[in-house]
Structure 1
Amino acid sequence: MPALITRLAAELRTDSPAVATPTPRLSWTVESDRPGWRQAWSELRRGDELVRREGDDSVLVAWPFAAMAAGERTEVRVRAGSTDGDETEWSEPLAVWAAFAAEWVAKPIALADPERPAQPVLLRTVFRVDAPLRSATLHWSALGAADATLNGEPVDDLVLTPGWTSYRERLVYETSDVTSLVREGENALGISLAGAWYTEEYHVLTEPRRFYGDQPRALAQLRLEFEDGSVRTVATGEGWRASGTGPIVDSGIYAGEHVDARRAVPRWDRPGFDDSTWAAASVIHEPLPALEARMAPPVREIERMPVLAVSRTGSGRILLDFGQNIVGRLRLRVQGPAGTVITIRHAEVLEGSFDDGAELALRPLRRASATDSFTLAGGESEVFEPSFTFHGFRYADIEGWPGEFEPDAVEAVVLGSDLRRTGWFEASDPLLERFHENVVWTLRGNYLAVPQDCPQRDERLGWTGDTQLFAPTAEFLYDCHAFLRSWLRDLALEQRRLNGLVPLFAPDVVPGFSDRGPVAAWGDAIAIVPRVLADSSGDASVLAEFYPGMRAWSDLVLSHVDDEGLWTSGRQLADWLDPNAPPNAPSRGRTDTDIVATAYLVRTLRLTSDIARGLGHHADADRFEAAAEASRRAFVAAFVTASGRMMCDTQTAYALTIAFDLVEDPQLRRRLGDRLAFVVRRDGYRIATGLVGTAVVAQALTATGHVDAAERLLFQTEAPSWLYPVTVGATTVWERWDGLTPDGSLNPGAMVSFNHVALGSVAAWLHADVAGLSAAAPGYRLVRIAPHPLARLGRASARHETPYGPAESGWERVDGTVRVHAVIPPNTTGLIELPDGRRFEVGSGSHSWTIDQPDAAPPCRPVTLDSSMAELADDAEAHRAFFAALAARPNRFLAGAVTANALYTPGRSIRDALVFADRATLDAVSDALASGPHSKGTA
């Protein structure tokens, strides 16, 4: 089969031909069944322009044609030839649209005399078209969220437009081709507007307050280009009319939306409507923030989901279960008397049993009421769906439904930024696959306009720490480059406002909370996230764009370093949400804050130095490199003993030290790895890390030869663990390991989210280490295949749509062997690291290798009461039997006490752990240990 160009794309949008630059870089992928296909030349065609390029560049190739004018549309094709003489045909044409405005003449408009804060408003104007029209382009935005219509038809399928940016410094605008909607004669342009993020009352441990403004504003300009070459612009400003009495009565991101269909204004956005009773819109003459054409995919409806089950709450409301924790809202089809009010509340979990009068668990929402209500107009069947809010929920309850309820009258509308899926993972274990699917759903819900921490409570902020920890996972699963780059622009603007300090979240909407000094792991996002984006995409320009912020952050943190070179000052979140921390004191984990802060200091200084050197800033590079080495040495001197112990003997302390390469001596590093494995077993193969440690603990175990310990940690099903939530029905990743206890009760902490990205960061290890697929060079120009077959799995694989095409790595156990397979995209090279130690490179194509399965580990000794607690931890069957026997005893306190206090170490016997057990309990445990495969040493 001849080689084919299978994908041609222009930066950075993948959901639309629209680009935000006159010279978009181009990328293409090649499909070929010829092994080792390598590009030798390429040709790009635009109309009559033909440009030939020698070499193998096929990703982010500079635009070789004349720069496009604002609004210009064109088509581009490409073909390529290989080093062995194979040539592709011309690709299918790629439509490219310069979707940005040459200039802005529109003025923001708003309701002139609002009756209350954040009042929704309808805005309209009319214009005539009396000459043949060539094209019509609408540029539009809002300080708030807006839906635009032309002659009663939506101009696009976007939701919550224009999304959320740092409104005081930067405002994104949309561009829509509306040529087909313009009519000869009179036309009407309408905007439905609500406050959304602009008028929201934000708080994080403070009283709610509006940060940006009390009333939403909109701006739009319609560019009409006629066949005779003349141009006319219809723009917001004088002459627009406004009404605050539309069907949307109130709307808020946290509160929800109230729609009263009796207030509907028929044909308000169509020609011929009499708006004489409407007031003139207020024209705002204050300076606008910088206007920027959309770069990232917008928020859209992603899919719809039916009701899975229906029940009744104890208070009599209709209770709906959608079977999946999602982000979005409900769409209703209902008929009833005028004035009937239907109220919908949303929650992620229940208090009680679904089939036995459960109520929504509303406490985790805190001050977010997350309630929508609809007042019927009466008559024919009516359809209701909120326009300017969203909720995080699996369950909803409905009050006020008229007549008999039919489940197919309600569906859930899933919302999210319209990101392209690029990564997949499969394994033979259903629980593990479900966990990975939970990670995917968590990303889909939280990557909405900004990378949120959670989508349900009165927060939903772009936390920097969560984002940098999850970014490697996110970039593998979805094309998040433009999405995260857009967010980084807001982060950089907020940092500039704070003189180098990186806030805890962006946009930064809680003054005084995140500007009290630098916070390790959170502020480091300004360096870490651009590096992740550059490595996954091959786009070094992201490093140049955000290097000033990296430098400013590094200099600021260095000003806080003590005389030894350690970061020991300021407020730190440290290993946030360590499961050993008190429920309402999540920063009080077991790992010393100085260890976390100094470890991140060294990591970021090294990153900044490396980036500076690549950009040609050699003086900066030398300075940061020297500072990093000084702090690394100080870290080792202060926190690492010569015997390989950390002064803070926790999983996170060892994992950070190993993962960040803070110890250079190979023997000392090996001892640290051995101790990490010891500590993980001591903790019963349960997670004992917070957000920071969780992202690297499995990676650190693997890097030091303890894949077996990482595997036991991964497959643990008792809390705290990754799989425990799955065993109790989780369909997204939780904020806390024990958000729900085994008896179904809520964690008592003030922060309990059941859709939170950070703890899903382990999926990066599943992709790169378990399945074995990662980038060994920026943009996957060199693809690493380095799988680590886990004993509990029969197979595992990962697939990723790299910038050069699909890559795959996987393995399966067959007849006493392990078969490793890989797919290397054309125009790249594979770096192969097999489990038997072989290392070599291969060209593109499909490859497979068979290795002898390593000898099975010697059977465990039978576990008895006199066995050590370490032996109990090493034998999963015996461990389960032990706790099942304790749980069955009348003294329920004993099982909880043993769980909380057990240390799984050699020299500490099971009998010692049961020092307070009576004879009958000892006999019951002994009998349980004597039954099953573990009793014969075959576990």
Structure 2
Amino acid sequence: MPTICKVWFEHHKDRTIGIGVGRPRISWRFGGYDTGWVQHCYEIEVTREGGEVETHSKYSDISSLVPWPSSPLASGEKCAIRVRAWNQGSSDRTQWSDTATVEAGLLSHEDWKCSLIEPEDPYVRGPPHRPVVFRGEIALQKVFTSARLYITAHGLYAARINGTLIGDHVLAPGWTSYNHRLVYQTFDVTDVMKVGCNTIDVDVGEGWYCGRIGFLGGRNNIYGQSIGLIAQLIIRNEDGTKICTGTDDSWEWAYGPIIASGLYDGEHYDARQKISSETVWCTSRCLPLTDNLAAPEGPPVRRVMTIPPKQVIKSPSGKTILDFGQNIVGWVQATIHGPAGANIIFQYAEVLEDGECCIRPLRYAKAQDRLTLSSEETLVWEPQFTYHGFRYVQIDGSLGPIQKDDFKGVVIHSDMERLGHFHCSNELLNQLHQNIVWSLRGNFVSIPTDCPQRDERLGWTGDINIFSDTANYLYDTAGMISQWLEDLALEQGEQGTGIVPLVIPNVIEGFEKDAHAIWGDVAIMLPWSLYIAYGDSSILTRQYSSMKAWLASIPRKADNLWNYTSTWKLGDWLDPAAPPEDVGNGRTDPTLVADCFLVHVTSLMAAISTIIGAQEDARQYAKSASELHTVFSKEYITENGRLVADSQTALALAICFSLFQSEDQLKHAARRLSSIVIQSSRFKIATGFAGTPYITHALSDTGNENLAYRMLLHRKRPSWLYPITMGATTMWERWDAILPDGKVNHEGEMTSFNHYALGAVGNWMHRVILGLRPLEPGWRRFKIAPVPGGDLQWAEGSHVTSYGECYVKWAVKPSPSANAYQRFTISVRIPPNTSADVHLPGKKEVEFVQSGTYTWETDFMPDTWPPRAEESRFVHADDEL
């Protein structure tokens, strides 16, 4: 029998305390691979806080996002849930799952009984804003049974009660569109409170709220001119009474040991200024709460691992540099011993140039942490309110010889559940996949950012739009991205035009004035990507007004295609052929790119409208998509199927978005794309943001998988593997960010070494090399259709769905029956309550299977490897892998 190995609520996969809805949906995941196991009935046991037990049964095969079966939770109410399920056609049932608990947060604004407090000091309101410590005291006279802390800040906070750090979050409360929604966290603090006097200390730094954000110097005080704190304690006594207290005019503030802390510039900690009996405390000023407090929808940012330095380097100039061997996001934890008053500076950098830390790509970000020692005692220290993107850390200051064991790299990101894995016989591809994973980790820090190191780190809409399918396979992004999309709709609505700002939260002035394809299309494409990955149609319903507003905001010509009203077009951003100083000026007409996506998103809107029951809209969008398809063809496609923009990107988009009018046109386009890849590009990548997610799919979808493999495995620039040959451990922003001679390209301007966007090829690796893709939203039914190719001898991988883990491993070797054939072996595992269509290479028949473990073998005829450009009797140097 399978087991129910995990139960969760909404999209919260870990500790569910402080959930923001009274009727949270319930999901459960199965363990085991019993053959043909299909749920036909489930039973949910609900134990309410007073001890009453309810049992709710239903004949249903649904085990994901099941509606809440009981009466709604009240604010602060806690419930315990167990689930079991029955197999279709038998009396077999699972054991009860382990108990999962869910606790509501403060569901109404009226539940908040505290104030916003700020330091009453004009200097603290900066900029810059020196972090402060807020302190409150609460005396408990009775024995209590539970204590909850509800807390957030105008800035970033770290709370301690009676000296104990509360929670394991970092950079809390995270970054949202603060003018619309300020997320709070809920903590169970029962074990750290005591009868008698309790002291609550909360450090608060400027963070995203009033710190410097943006490039070219950025801006301060975007959301307000002072840091602040909101905190509320609710104590339930043994006798049934309740105490509610929080930030008010009795709270005081003081300066602590953090002298300065900015997200870009780093943190300065002076151990000589720790809070002590001599600290001067000042009165806080109270302000009324706004009604924008909201419970989080996704996981918090946490320390997820630490890694040791690989080596200590002496640079040519004599500097001491730690090399962590991996480009990571977070900071250094240091165990330091030195003389009182000594200053130690940690300079963070992603790469070395001429053996020294290369900080030019940081632009206006200093990326330095500074520690001032107070005594000869050993101090274990790490920053609280900043983070960095780095592989290397230069250490300057009054220290003796550096021992690498005294330092750790602390890795942080939004603590999402890892879902997908990939491994194969080609180590360069394994490293590429690892680089994609590391760049996702480093740029999913509260919001999906473009880069983690320089004076930017913004929620660029285009980056996540093209990367979302890859991200959704690798991690459970549903909660985090859903929350970000809610901010997108709020920021978009604030403009009143329907235009989607280029960054969310919208902190760059002017980025909301012009509509841009791909970047604005995120309003439609990203909710759709989440729906396909996780099967939650409520995201489509919630974002529907945003989708419609975006589509209506697009400026149109008389034929309803794009009519750009600005001369600035992002287009196929970062096409490797574009001039370094004008990276939007690629080889593909940006208006054609925009029109390709316009037809695509209009077609998606017809499907989305149907799913949510907006039938009249569905008819209108379907009609509009059909008309756009026709006018696009007239504008850009010849009768034979030639595109006016004869490029990898144009052809890939037209193929993947089904823009050709006939099968003959499609075949002609496929031949032309193959010719460009072989003869013109010589298997190198020639796409930017628009084309990169689609180029390999366009090749494999038209029967040219061998060329897709050839392009993927190319090692000369521009290619996916060139950065790996240069030592990259994350994805680069530019295809040639480091030149073959080791020099940083483009003088370090707009040269990030941790950008996930071009890692969108991971989606092809998952869907084609492994062959895993959903056939129904949420992976209830999925496809296994691996395509062996290149020099790969085997590949294996998995994806954890809401139902359980899908696993595939295949291998090829010479067939004993015929020399020209290969023997293909595949093993798969299909979780309970799902089914799969299995396609074997060279076979037309499809294996339809339900849950279980299966193995097949077959002979197939592989393509000749490697394919070469044959226009000359001489082999061109770029033909070499």
Structure 2 length-normalised TM: 0.95
Equivalent in the alignment of 1:182: 193
Preserved contact between residue 218 and residue 455 of structure 2 (Cα < 8 Å): no
Equivalent in the alignment of 2:50: none
Equivalent in the alignment of 1:725: 723
Which letter does structure 2 place at the counterpart of 1:211?
I
Q: Distance in 1 between matches of 2:97 and 2:867?
A: 60
Residue 205 and residue 650 in structure 1: after superposition, are their counterparts in 2 closer, same or farther (change >3 A)? farther
Q: Distance in 1 between matches of 2:20 and 2:664?
A: 52
Q: CA deviation at 1:307?
A: 1.2
Preserved contact between residue 100 and residue 175 of structure 1 (Cα < 8 Å): no
Deviates more, 1:34-43 or 1:318-327: 34-43
Q: CA deviation at 1:206?
A: 7.1
Equivalent in the alignment of 1:905: none
Q: Distance in 1 between matches of 2:865 and 2:66?
A: 55
Which letter does structure 1 place at the counterpart of 2:189?
V
Q: CA deviation at 1:33?
A: 4.3
Q: SS of the residue aligned with 1:789?
A: coil
Q: Does 1:793 align with 2:787?
A: no
Preserved contact between residue 120 and residue 193 of structure 1 (Cα < 8 Å): yes
Q: SS of the residue aligned with 2:40?
A: strand
Residue 397 and residue 643 in structure 1: after superposition, are their counterparts in 2 closer, same or farther (change >3 A)? same
Preserved contact between residue 178 and residue 209 of structure 2 (Cα < 8 Å): yes
Q: Distance in 2 between matches of 1:43 and 1:209?
A: 53
Q: Does 1:509 align with 2:507?
A: yes
* Residue-by-residue CA offset, 1:389-444 (whole Å, 9 max, x unaligned): 00000001011042222111111111111111000011110000010011111111
Q: SS of the residue aligned with 1:545?
A: helix
Preserved contact between residue 101 and residue 139 of structure 1 (Cα < 8 Å): no
Preserved contact between residue 636 and residue 643 of structure 2 (Cα < 8 Å): yes
Preserved contact between residue 318 and residue 399 of structure 1 (Cα < 8 Å): yes
Equivalent in the alignment of 2:100: 94
Q: CA deviation at 1:315?
A: 3.5
Preserved contact between residue 298 and residue 479 of structure 2 (Cα < 8 Å): yes
Map residues 912-931 of structure 1 onto 2, 5 A cutoff: none
Q: CA deviation at 1:207?
A: 5.5
Q: Does 1:264 align with 2:274?
A: yes
Bigger relative contact order, structure 1 or 2, given CA contacts below 8 A and separation 6+?
2
Q: Distance in 2 between matches of 1:213 and 1:858?
A: 61
Q: CA deviation at 1:71?
A: 1.7
Preserved contact between residue 167 and residue 289 of structure 1 (Cα < 8 Å): no
2:58 alignment partner, one of 42, 53, 71: 53
Map residues 156-235 of structure 1 onto 2, 5 A cutoff: 156-204=167-215, 208-235=219-246
Residue 274 and residue 129 in structure 1: after superposition, are their counterparts in 2 closer, same or farther (change >3 A)? farther
Deviates more, 1:590-599 or 1:62-71: 62-71
Structure 1: which 5+ runs fail to align?
Answer: 267-272, 353-357, 881-939
Q: Does 1:774 align with 2:810?
A: no
Equivalent in the alignment of 1:111: 119
Residue 871 and residue 764 in structure 1: after superposition, are their counterparts in 2 closer, same or farther (change >3 A)? farther
Residue 443 and residue 165 in structure 1: after superposition, are their counterparts in 2 closer, same or farther (change >3 A)? same
Matched positions, count: 856
Preserved contact between residue 745 and residue 751 of structure 2 (Cα < 8 Å): yes
Deviates more, 1:501-510 or 1:568-577: 568-577
Q: CA deviation at 1:14?
A: 1.2
Q: Distance in 1 between matches of 2:743 and 2:367?
A: 21
Q: Distance in 1 between matches of 2:725 and 2:283?
A: 59
Residue 158 and residue 31 in structure 1: after superposition, are their counterparts in 2 closer, same or farther (change >3 A)? closer
Equivalent in the alignment of 1:872: 875
Equivalent in the alignment of 1:332: 334
Superposition RMSD in Å: 1.8
Equivalent in the alignment of 1:62: 67
Deviates more, 1:548-557 or 1:816-825: 816-825
Q: Does 1:151 align with 2:162?
A: yes
Map residues 540-689 of structure 1 onto 2, 5 A cutoff: 540-557=537-554, 560-570=555-565, 571-681=568-678, 682-689=680-687
Preserved contact between residue 832 and residue 840 of structure 1 (Cα < 8 Å): yes
Which letter does structure 1 place at the counterpart of 2:315?
T
Q: CA deviation at 1:870?
A: 8.7
Which letter does structure 1 place at the counterpart of 2:458?
L
Q: Distance in 1 between matches of 2:413 and 2:782?
A: 30
Equivalent in the alignment of 1:826: 832
Equivalent in the alignment of 1:854: 861
Q: CA deviation at 1:288?
A: 2.2
Equivalent in the alignment of 2:356: 359
Equivalent in the alignment of 2:404: 407
Preserved contact between residue 787 and residue 810 of structure 1 (Cα < 8 Å): no
Q: CA deviation at 1:752?
A: 0.4
Equivalent in the alignment of 1:389: 386
Q: Does 1:282 align with 2:285?
A: yes
Preserved contact between residue 71 and residue 100 of structure 1 (Cα < 8 Å): yes
Residue 529 and residue 33 in structure 1: after superposition, are their counterparts in 2 closer, same or farther (change >3 A)? closer
Preserved contact between residue 688 and residue 720 of structure 1 (Cα < 8 Å): yes
Preserved contact between residue 203 and residue 209 of structure 1 (Cα < 8 Å): no
Q: CA deviation at 1:871?
A: 7.1
Q: Distance in 1 between matches of 2:553 and 2:517?
A: 12
Preserved contact between residue 706 and residue 867 of structure 2 (Cα < 8 Å): no
Which letter does structure 2 place at the counterpart of 1:597?
A
Which letter does structure 2 place at the counterpart of 1:848?
T
Residue 311 and residue 490 in structure 1: after superposition, are their counterparts in 2 closer, same or farther (change >3 A)? same
Preserved contact between residue 568 and residue 597 of structure 1 (Cα < 8 Å): no
Residue 793 and residue 360 in structure 1: after superposition, are their counterparts in 2 closer, same or farther (change >3 A)? same
Preserved contact between residue 534 and residue 542 of structure 1 (Cα < 8 Å): yes
Map residues 372-451 of structure 1 onto 2, 5 A cutoff: 372-451=369-448
Q: Distance in 1 between matches of 2:368 and 2:286?
A: 32
1:122 alignment partner, one of 133, 141, 149: 133
Structure 2: which 5+ runs fail to align?
Answer: 48-52, 816-822
Preserved contact between residue 2 and residue 832 of structure 2 (Cα < 8 Å): no
Residue 262 and residue 407 in structure 1: after superposition, are their counterparts in 2 closer, same or farther (change >3 A)? same
* Residue-by-residue CA offset, 1:873-912 (whole Å, 9 max, x unaligned): 6x98x646xxxxxxxxxxxxxxxxxxxxxxxxxxxxxxxx
Structure 1 length-normalised TM: 0.89
Q: SS of the residue aligned with 2:184?
A: strand
Q: Distance in 2 between matches of 1:74 and 1:207?
A: 46
Q: Distance in 1 between matches of 2:83 and 2:384?
A: 41
Equivalent in the alignment of 1:81: 86
Residue 208 and residue 793 in structure 1: after superposition, are their counterparts in 2 closer, same or farther (change >3 A)? same
Q: Tell me which structure has the larger Cα radius of gyration.
A: 1
Identity of aligned residues (%): 38
Equivalent in the alignment of 2:322: 320
